[in-house]
């Protein structure tokens, strides 16, 4: 895949077997568009990695999906950290048609727990899942991981750390019919708050010429830390509307990060569900720099951030500190 839609711009990846041998080099024919498919054959039971062998001109745009038996078993999303030598995927091949791969694993995150659901793809046996810190390698013990199983198409993992990302893999155990390919690793992240404390906001992006934002971006900072960027996906058309959630009590700072090629065409509104909070930049007034700050306050948070910190009566060894 390519996030910009102009092919891989010279980027190449190698499919490497467990012995370190290069089985395929892919990407040379991905010259245009946002997606391209190449079909390869590998040995069943073999372990493989896909590694960037040539970063090309724009490595931050490249991504991939590994598909087996109609199911996506692992995914690499384009990232600014992609460079020469980046491992984009790791998978184990299986050609067992009697035990199809589970697919479409999705999740809903809470603060310390995550609910998962998936498509069994016709299987009725046991599904084994393993999770651990991002980067853990399946069944190796190289990092601390946990394993459990389910006979249904949904499960919940509890006891997780808040505001933390993990990897998970899923495999079907079909008894006498063997096992499926491994689905994953798939990354998931817990929230900083419970789902009942989440506030929904909408970023409504517009362009007067109708050709997207041409490189303009807006950054959001949550309680002083970088949160997310809007704009890179707005590459065509006159509007793009994105909903997202933040924890109640979060201070949201809005910053125009990059003006792009045609800043005079760019305008947007950031608003909450009720419309009581709005941050807007009108057409012709988009300039790089800080815009405004709002406090997410859709609900009373279960553990609100202290405010109005004040210091008084300071002496050489004492001070009075107050807050709300």
Residue keyed to tokens 């704009």: 231
Residues 6+ apart with CB under 8 A from 41: none
Output the six-digit token pair for 147. 């394993």
Return the pLDDT at 142: 58
In this predicted model, what pLDDT tens digit does every residue of 197-218 receive, in sequence order? 889 999 999 999 999 999 999 9
The total of other beta-carbon atoms located within 10 Å of residue 173's CB is: 16
**Length of the chain (residues):** 324
Domain covering 196-295 in this structure, CATH number: 2.60.60
- Cα separation, 253 vs 293, whole angstroms: 4
- Cα separation, 189 vs 77, whole angstroms: 15
| Angle in degrees, CA 147, 152, 157, rounded to 5 | 40
Helix%, strand%, coil% for the chain, nearest 5: 5, 45, 50
Please tell me the pTM assigned to this model.
0.55
Per DSSP, which regions of 137-197 are E strands?
Answer: 146-150, 154-157, 165-173, 183-189
Output the six-digit token pair for 306. 């202290």
Nearest to 56 by CA among 91, 22, 31: 31
Q: Where in the chain is the domain with CATH 2.60.60?
A: 196-295
Out of 2.60.40.1930, 2.40.70.10, 3.40.710.10, 2.60.40.10, the CATH code matching 103-189 is 2.60.40.10
- Cα separation, 34 vs 5, whole angstroms: 4
| Angle in degrees, CA 92, 73, 91, rounded to 5 | 25
Return the pLDDT at 47: 83
Peptide bond before 185: cis, by omega within 30 degrees of 0?
yes
Q: Where in the chain is the domain with CATH 2.60.40.10?
A: 103-189
In this predicted model, what pLDDT tens digit does every residue of 226-244 receive, in sequence order? 999 999 999 999 999 999 9
Below-50 pLDDT ranges, the chain: none
- Cα separation, 46 vs 52, whole angstroms: 20
């Amino acid at each position: 895949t390519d996030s910009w839609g102009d092919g891989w711009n010279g980027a190449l990846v190698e499919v490497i077997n467990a012995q370190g041998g290069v089985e395929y080099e892919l990407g040379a024919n991905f010259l245009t568009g946002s997606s391209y498919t190449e079909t390869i054959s590998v040995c069943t039971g073999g372990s493989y990695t896909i590694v960037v062998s040539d970063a090309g001109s724009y490595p931050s745009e490249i991504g991939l999906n590994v598909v087996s038996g109609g199911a996506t078993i692992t995914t690499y999303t384009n990232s600014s950290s992609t460079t020469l030598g980046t491992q984009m995927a790791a998978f184990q091949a299986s050609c067992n048609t009697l035990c199809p791969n589970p697919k479409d694993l999705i999740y809903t995150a809470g603060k310390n727990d995550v609910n998962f659901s998936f498509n069994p793809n016709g299987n009725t046996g046991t599904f084994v899942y393993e999770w651990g810190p991002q980067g853990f390698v399946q069944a190796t013990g190289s990092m601390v991981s946990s394993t459990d199983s389910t006979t249904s198409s949904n499960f919940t993992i509890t006891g997780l750390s808040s505001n933390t990302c993990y990897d998970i893999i899923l495999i079907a155990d079909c008894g006498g019919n063997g096992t499926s390919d491994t689905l994953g690793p798939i990354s998931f992240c817990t929230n900083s708050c419970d789902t009942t404390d989440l506030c929904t906001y909408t970023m409504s992006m517009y362009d007067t010429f109708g050709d997207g934002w041409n490189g303009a971006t807006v950054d959001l900072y949550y309680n002083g830390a970088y949160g997310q960027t809007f704009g890179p996906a707005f590459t065509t058309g006159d509007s793009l509307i994105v909903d997202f959630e933040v924890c109640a009590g979060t201070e949201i700072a809005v910053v125009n990060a990059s003006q792009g090629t045609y800043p005079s065409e760019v305008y947007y509104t950031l608003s909450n569900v009720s419309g009581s909070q709005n941050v807007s930049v009108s057409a012709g007034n988009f300039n790089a720099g800080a815009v405004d700050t709002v406090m997410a306050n859709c609900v009373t948070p279960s553990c609100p951030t202290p405010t109005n910190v004040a210091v008084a009566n300071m002496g050489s060894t004492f001070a009075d500190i107050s807050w709300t």
